[in-house]
Amino acid sequence: MNNTWTTRAETRADIPAIREINRAAFGRDEEADLVDALRADASAWIDGLSLVSADEDGRVVGHALLTRCHIGDVPALCLAPCAVLPELQGTGAGSAAARAALEAAGERGERHVVVLGHPTYYPRFGFTRASAHGIRLSVDVPDEALMALALDAAHPLPGGTVRYAAPFGI
């Protein structure tokens, strides 16, 4: 099994594969529809921050998306969704895409990222409990599921309520 993944920004040709990865990973259309809606939202979408991981044959098998959100009034990024084809989950394909996305964001001068997800998965990338930084949502979620990351130590995480892009419906 290949445990070395090639990562790159999505291209137009990747869109059908990204849709299928999200549908397969989550077993429903909602996350795939969310990616499509975010791609169409000029206030949320940032070219170059939708990253894919591909196997040795170039087949796209994983996806990680960063879009614009705000923590209070401070611009930040939201990491969601992250997905891998079910048969390749646990192989590092998702981690490769997520790391590449976070690296690309840092290279662009982005400073903060939030994620609502599995509390045992995202700490491997440096995410910590958002509530420890005064970051919260306007809806109830398990405290350990909302996490945040400062991409630049010189700019600590701001406190405040996360405002997601409209397609999230939060």
Nearest to 43 by CA among 65, 68, 16, 19: 68
How far is the CA of 70 from the CAs of 21, 74, 111, in angstroms?
A: 27, 5, 11
Distance CA 95, CA 55 (A): 13
Q: Is the pLDDT of residue 3 over 90?
A: no
Distance CA 145, CA 53 (A): 24
- Is residue 134 helix, strand or coil? coil
Check residue 86 and give its pLDDT.
Answer: 97
Tell if the pTM clears 0.85, that is, is over it. yes
Average pLDDT, the chain: 96
Residue 17 host element (H or E): helix 15-26
List pLDDT tens digits, range 135-146: 999 999 999 999
